[in-house]
Amino acid sequence: MNHKKSQAAFETAKVRIPGGVNSPVRAFKSVGCDPIFIASAKGSTITDIDGNSYIDYVGSWGPMILGHCHPKVVEAIQSAAAQGASYGAPTELETQLAERVCDAYPNIEMVRMVSSGTEATMSAIRLARGYTGRDKILKFDGCYHGHADSLLVNAGSGAATFGVPSSPGVPEDFAKHTLTATYNDMDEVRRLVMQNKGEVAAIILEPIAGNMGCVPPLPGFLQKLRQLCDDEEIVLIVDEVMTGFRVAYGGAQERFDIRGDLVCLGKIIGGGLPVGAFGGKREIMEKLSPEGGVYQAGTLSGNPLAMSAGIATLDLLKEDGFYDQIEEKSAYLEKGLSQVTGASKIPTCWQRVGGMFCTYFQEGPVTSFADAKRSDLDRFGLFFRRMLDEGINLAPSQFEAGFMSIAHTKENLDKTIAAVDKVLKTLD
């Protein structure tokens, strides 16, 4: 495929934008090529500025579960924009979206809207510290919760892509309050908590780790975490920025029958517009300013365009059979790719939960970030580039999940399976 216009656009961008991108993974460094610049998207496809079209499994990193430019979401955004793009004042739309979120999550009794997933997680942690009077938090190696200072300790996703587990610019005094455990290793979690007994304010995790590929929790892991938090009076923060409304209407907590004290949401609840939220038990949420003393604010929080897009999206997701269709499409792709990869001499491992999935270039299963890092990253980069040439857009990192949308057709899925078969044969 010809990418001359994208290459030129990238060179121009690098003059004014650090690295030419506004989020590091978009630079395509880990896959050994320059990024494509997008001109438009519709349904299951995106089109770059050179006119090349691709079947899209990135979906703006998850929120496009309806596909790009769903007519009802577009209509909701246009209608809201005609009334005003931003007020910095309350609207009824905020309450309407909050009601839908609380309806989907029985453990969310109150919710605060913000403008990004990073805002949601950093605010939830501050709230947990304020509520408990403790300073330390425990997170998991390879789980990514945004770029707040205390969370950039052994992070996954973009940080992992560049081989930098912790970022320069994060003071040691911040990092020392962050304990890091191995995902799915309950014995290590328990040991760290006991070594810091009475000091841990919160445990935060992705219930399905989507920033080291797609790593589901081992049976009983989430339930044991819940019990430990109850026993030690620790706030359990479930980061569903990626999984919320993705793997079920009530997210991973519905799928795995687990309830966090605080929940972080994003992506889908804004219908693709910038949004985030955190919510949970009333007794904790009432500690937030202006009702309580824990300060959190955001001038653009509850933006009317994002609220309108989110309301339209969640109403469509609640329709009967929606998640059954996502499951059927994802299972069809899984079956086809499992047959193709199984016939290949190249070690691969396919993992999926609902409409989230990942193919690792290694033997499986992958249950932790240490496992994920054993993948053949050079081979993945070559695979990515050749799949792009076949018209398939995957996440440009081994450590990112792929996403299914309701707009993907059987023809799309068959083309994807055939492309993987063709590309793998060139990698043998």
Q: Kindly list the catalytic residues.
A: 144, 239, 267
Residue 309 and residue 389 in contact, taking contact as beta carbons nearer than 8 Å: no
Place of tokens 């990238």: 10
Spell out a b/e string for 147-171, using b for 16 or more CB atoms within 10 Å of the CB, else e.
Answer: bbbbbbbbbbbbbbbeeebebeebe
CA distance 269 to 317: 11
Interior/surface letters 231-268, b for 16+ CB within 10 angstroms, e for the rest: ebebbbbbbbbbbbbbbbbbbbbbbbebbbbbbbbbbb
In single-letter form, the type of residue at position 73 comes to V
Distance (Å, rounded) from C-alpha 106 to C-alpha 92? 22
In contact, 41 and 31? CB cutoff 8 Å: no
Q: Collapsing DSSP states into helix, strand and coil, what is residue 175? A: helix
- d(Cα 299, Cα 245) in Å, to the nearest integer? 26
- CA dist 422 → 366, 380, 386 (Å): 25, 15, 9
Could you write out the three-class secondary structure of 345-405? CCCCEEEEECCEEEEECCCCCCCCHHHHCCCCHHHHHHHHHHHHHCCEECCCCCCCCEECC
With contact defined as beta carbons under 8 Å apart, do 405 and 66 qualify?
yes
DSSP per-residue codes, 96-162: HHHHHHHHH-TT-SEEEEESSHHHHHHHHHHHHHHHH---EEEEETT----S-GGG-BS--HHHHHT
Question: What's the CA gap between 405 and 357, in Å, rounded?
Answer: 12
User: Distance between CA 349 and CA 398 in Å, rounded?
Assistant: 12
Token duo for residue 386:
């050749």
> Distance between CA 156 and CA 166 in Å, rounded?
10
How far is it, in rounded angstroms, from Cα 294 to Cα 176? 22
First and final CA of the chain: distance in angstroms?
Answer: 23
